[in-house]
Structure 1
Amino acid sequence: MPMCSWFREPATAKTLAGFGIHRIGDLAAIPPGTLARILGAKTSRLLFERAHGHDPRPVTPEAAPKSTSASYDFERDELDPTAHRRALLELTERLGLKLRTSRQVASGLALTVTYADGSTTQRSRTLPEPTAHTAAFTTAAYDLYARLGLQRARVRTFALRAEQLTDAEHAVQQLAFDPGDEKRRRIEQAADRARARFGELAVRPGALAEPTEP
């Protein structure tokens, strides 16, 4: 590997090049004493170790994303509130599945609406508790939509963003005593298993089913 693609100190690289050391293999072949006379004890020791693959620095994994989003583009600027809500349902289905698959939960939800003239409006809200439950996202998304009062607005795009993401195992959730909620979560888990095996479209809400020809 060329030295320039591995080492980012131009002055030191130039000094090494003056001695015919252009590649990592060249550097690794230089005796430590000779390298010390060229670069000094501290720098030579560091480069000698790196050239031989010794790097004690801990590996820091990339930080998990703090948000994730999904968008829905209408085929034409859409005025129908039923079509609007159907699009929002599809987005919450996608977000919920994505977070559950990655074992994350969100504490906030933001809705961005792009209109026919290209202008946008955004609303956001904090969720009652961290969640990846599709039903919770849908309730929040419908509430954000209702607050915008889009009865006569032609919508071009909806974008829904789950915010303040954390690992699901670290999230504190309230105990639910609603049998209906517990049943919905079990159904959701079963649907997720089916999607993992047969694809994301294996299970969809009836409201998202394609209409059949009479």
Structure 2
Amino acid sequence: MTGRRRHIAHLHLHAALSEAQYDDVIELMSGITPHVQAVPPDAVQLDLTSALRYFDLSPYDMVQTAKMRLKLFYDIDSSAGLAGNRMLATMAADASAPGDTTWVPTEQAADWLYPRPVTALPGIGRATAETLSRYGLHTIGQIVDIPAATLQRLLGVGQARLLTERARGHDPRPVTPTEPAAHLTADLVLDRDCLDPARHHQAVLRLADRIGQRLRGEKQVAGRLTLTVRYADRSSSTRTRPLPEPSNHSPTLAAAALGLLTSLGLQRARVRAFVIRADDLRSADGAHRQLSLDPGDDRARSAEAAADRARRRFGSGAVYPATLAHDQRGQGRALLMS
């Protein structure tokens, strides 16, 4: 993330979750960004920096999207903090009322911190707080203003330096997933229950294209796709299919996803949401692709690479497949979640 302003979100989950349910939350959040760090038992942190251009959303709207996902898919309410580093995001979340989001922009962080109690800083235990209180140091601003030598005499050199860094809002720690992402997900929650097979078809095409973009952006290929359809009555159907060969080519992914959709035989089902999951991931550099004698295949892949470059520069909506032209114009109220 060097050279870019970071945007870190800390979400408090207002629910008592089992280990399996917590794992589901981590998986759901990985549909927004691969940079997800578990903070068990009831919180999660997301580095949204690379996701903002991909989704073409503001940092605040990106957090609202994450919270909406939790509510729609698992009926979990959450409060959130958004800031330029993990410490500030955690503190902002702690300061948020249930259901609210507190955003602390980097340029306002010092002013936001200044009047807050020193005990709001992470890592300030009772003994340290009592020592500071005896000398009239109750707020973060007072820690910032006190001479460094004085603070070092009170707490010792190492602890004083760490406290000063935190009081100034500094935290270089990255959001670190516990392990590399084993899958990618994309989901689409419709604005109303949908009976139209044509819209079902377009929604699945749209998600397959998103999965392809993300795989290519991560320089990965997938060996298997899973399609889950969630219905108006909260039930769901799931189908899984291995790909003929590992791929990140959107037409290949779309063909597999549409095959899964056909196998469900939805007809006039009242659909509320679609989810596509790509797994059996591996590095694109080490993947073998069957040679094709069709020159159109190479042209399609070259066009796809050019479209990806345009999206990275101008945003995710800059270029999209012709098959989705109607979808882009006619489904503006649909909420693309990942």
User: TM-score of the superposition, structure 2-length normalised?
Assistant: 0.47
Measure, in 2, the Cα distance between the counterparts of 1:12 and 1:129: 59
Equivalent of 2:286, from 157, 172, 182? 172
> Within 5 Å, which residues of 2 pair with 1:30-179?
30=150, 32=152, 34-35=153-154, 44-51=156-163, 53=165, 59-63=173-177, 66-71=183-188, 73=190, 76-80=193-197, 82-127=198-243, 130-163=246-279, 168=283, 171-179=285-293
Return closer, same or farther for 1:60/1:205 CA change in 2, 3 Å cut-off. Answer: closer
- How far 1:60 sits from its partner (Å)? 4.2
- How far 1:16 sits from its partner (Å)? 2.2
Return closer, same or farther for 1:107/1:5 CA change in 2, 3 Å cut-off. Answer: farther
Q: What is the DSSP-based 3-state SS (H/G/I as helix, E as strand, rest coil) of the residue aligned with 2:305?
A: helix
- How far 1:134 sits from its partner (Å)? 0.8
- How far 1:120 sits from its partner (Å)? 1.4
What is the match of residue 11 of structure 1?
A: 127
Return closer, same or farther for 1:45/1:71 CA change in 2, 3 Å cut-off. Answer: same
What is the match of residue 30 of structure 2?
A: none
Measure, in 2, the Cα distance between the counterparts of 1:145 and 1:123: 8
Q: Which amino acid aligns with 2:308?
A: D
Q: Which amino acid aligns with 1:73?
A: L
Measure, in 2, the Cα distance between the counterparts of 1:179 and 1:123: 32
Q: Which amino acid aligns with 1:209?
A: A
What is the match of residue 326 of structure 2?
A: 210
Asked if the contact 1:73/1:156 (under 8 Å) is kept, the reply is yes
Alpha-carbon RMSD: 3.6
- How far 1:130 sits from its partner (Å)? 4.8
- How far 1:104 sits from its partner (Å)? 4.8
Measure, in 2, the Cα distance between the counterparts of 1:31 and 1:187: 61
Deviates more, 1:152-161 or 1:196-205: 196-205
Measure, in 2, the Cα distance between the counterparts of 1:157 and 1:31: 56
Measure, in 2, the Cα distance between the counterparts of 1:90 and 1:31: 57
Return closer, same or farther for 1:179/1:72 CA change in 2, 3 Å cut-off. Answer: farther
Measure, in 2, the Cα distance between the counterparts of 1:76 and 1:45: 62
Asked if the contact 2:223/2:246 (under 8 Å) is kept, the reply is yes
Asked if the contact 1:67/1:164 (under 8 Å) is kept, the reply is no
Return closer, same or farther for 1:86/1:47 CA change in 2, 3 Å cut-off. Answer: same
Q: What is the DSSP-based 3-state SS (H/G/I as helix, E as strand, rest coil) of the residue aligned with 1:30?
A: helix
Measure, in 1, the Cα distance between the counterparts of 2:287 and 2:191: 35
Measure, in 2, the Cα distance between the counterparts of 1:208 and 1:79: 16
Return closer, same or farther for 1:197/1:45 CA change in 2, 3 Å cut-off. Answer: closer
> Relative contact order, CA 8 A, sep 6+: which one is greater?
1
Give unpaired runs (5+ residues) of structure 2.
1-113, 328-338
Q: What is the DSSP-based 3-state SS (H/G/I as helix, E as strand, rest coil) of the residue aligned with 1:117?
A: coil
Return closer, same or farther for 1:52/1:61 CA change in 2, 3 Å cut-off. Answer: same
Measure, in 2, the Cα distance between the counterparts of 1:199 and 1:60: 25
Q: How many residues align?
A: 198
Return closer, same or farther for 1:108/1:3 CA change in 2, 3 Å cut-off. Answer: farther
- How far 1:4 sits from its partner (Å)? 1.7
Return closer, same or farther for 1:187/1:16 CA change in 2, 3 Å cut-off. Answer: same
Equivalent of 1:24, from 137, 143, 149? 143
Identity score, percent: 37
User: TM-score of the superposition, structure 1-length normalised?
Assistant: 0.69
Larger Rg: 1
